[in-house]
Amino acid sequence: MKSFLNEVNEKMHGVPIQRCYHCRKCTAGCPLAQVMEYNPNRIIKMIQMGQKDEVLSSSTIWLCASCETCITRCPNQVDIAHMMDTLRQMAIEQGYAAKEKNILKFHKSFLHNIWINGRINEPMMMVEYKLLSGDLFSDMVMGVDMFLKGKLHLISPRPKDMATVRKIFKQTK
């Protein structure tokens, strides 16, 4: 039977994650490590130890913001952002429930917004997320503040090549 480590490496098609020597530079730079259930290099350790259930049901994989700070700091080019993405896909395919409340609805709104606009339009995405989650009023004051300070734009320009955006969605389902 294939080990969890091999399963993840095969899906990533990148630098094998066993190159990690646990220097923790990724975790030291990760803006979300403090709120993660397990920090990024601990997730790698758990994969190496075959702790599939714990990894795929952890909230960490859903909290990673794919900012790529970790790979820019990693001396071994281990692509943790891509690894987290791979783990999220595996969790969905293999029926692991997402531990973070409403996180799948957030991802759905995010992707649907890119499908429609070719890029994120924050107000439109937040409206869709609020309707999907039923969480209508939290963050409303902050949203109004951001709008008044010009941080949220009602209209965002579409990329010229929308056909390519749609093609990427079709090819990646």
Judge whether 25 and 75 are in contact, CB under 8 Å. yes
Secondary structure of 114-130 in the HEC alphabet?
Answer: HHHHCCCCHHHHHHHHH
Three-state DSSP state, 69:
helix
CB nearer to ligand SF4: pick between 46 and 64: 64
Which segments within the chain are labelled E, that is strand? none
Q: Which residue number, 76 or 156, has a Cβ lying nearer to ligand SF4?
A: 76
Q: Is 78 in the site for ligand SF4 (CB under 6 A)?
A: yes
**CB 117 within 8 Å of CB 43:** no
Q: Which of 69, 109, 113, 117 binds ligand SF4 (CB under 6 A)?
A: 69
d(CA 46, CA 20): 12
Please tell me whether residue 86 binds ligand SF4 under the rule CB under 6 A.
no
**Given candidates 81, 87, 91, 98, which one binds ligand SF4 under the rule CB under 6 A?**
81
Angstrom distance (rounded) from CA 94 to CA 51: 15
Q: Quick one: 16 or 123, whose CB is closer to ligand SF4?
A: 16
Q: Which of 10, 53, 68, 139 binds ligand SF4 (CB under 6 A)?
A: 68
Q: Is 74 among the residues that bind ligand SF4 (CB under 6 A)? A: yes
Stretch that binds ligand SF4, among 26-34, 49-57, 101-109, 130-138 (CB under 6 A): 26-34
- CA 172, chain centre distance (Å): 16
Stretch that binds ligand SF4, among 1-9, 63-71, 110-118, 131-139 (CB under 6 A): 63-71
Query: Residues with Cβ < 8 Å from 36, sequence gap 6 or more?
Result: 30, 59, 60, 63, 64
- 55 binds ligand SF4 per the rule CB under 6 A: no
Footprint of ligand SF4 on this chain (CB under 6 A)?
20-26, 30-32, 40-41, 44, 64-70, 73-76, 78, 80-81, 84
